[in-house]
Amino acid sequence: MPRAAAFFDLDRTLIRRSSALALAPHFRRHGVITRTQVVKAAFWQMLFAMHGAPAERVRAAAEDGLMLLRGFTPEQMRTLVAEALEPALRPLVYREPLGLVEQHRERGEPTYIVSAALQEIADAIADDLGFDGALGTLCEVENGVYTGRGLRSLHGPHKADAVRELAAAEDIDLAASTAYSDSHTDVPFLEAVGHPVVVNPDRELRRVAVERAWPVLRFKQRAA
């Protein structure tokens, strides 16, 4: 029989800020990105947090980010992310969503991270926090290295498409499932399930939540 599941956005929902920005200093020390690129990423993240960003600009920024990976191997990326979990990512995790993950799993509902972050980053965080899996942006790999070309970008409605594909493959009942997110760009993702939950919403998502009577949660506490 189909079963319900729970889907959690990553940035500013499960963790306090952008995972890519949190990892940027570590990536810079290992030559993945330059200091100028770190500053540029911080600028765009600030604009996104304050004012939102057009979907086309978000997509273009994501494509630029993938090109930085060209020549690196997925194994190198997994190693870098594993090294950065303790100093850079774990301190950003909210306590409240981890409690919700436990509640869903006690009801027999698998839990997934769904993020525009690179798949290897989403996988590492999901494994570390005890999720059942993750959906992230896929970068093409040829001859063992990233080409810089995206195969699947989980921005905007594409995040909802990926959830539907997973549900079909894993026999998940989306009408009985729950999704959590903070951003208005994730409205299609929230609409894909029967129980959308808004977390620390931006202004536009707060307006949508009021109009549709979606529950709104506030995550504040840091996880241990």
User: Hey, which residues are catalytic here?
Assistant: 9, 11
The answer to whether 223 and 93 have CB atoms below 8 angstroms apart is yes
The answer to whether 89 and 125 have CB atoms below 8 angstroms apart is yes
Helix (H, G, I), strand (E, B) or coil at 215: coil
For every residue of 102-146, DSSP letters joined together read HHHHHTT--EEEEEEEEHHHHHHHHHHHT-SEEEEEEEEEETTEE
Residue given tokens 């940027």 in the structure block: 24
Closest by CA to 114, choosing from 130, 102, 105, 125, is: 125
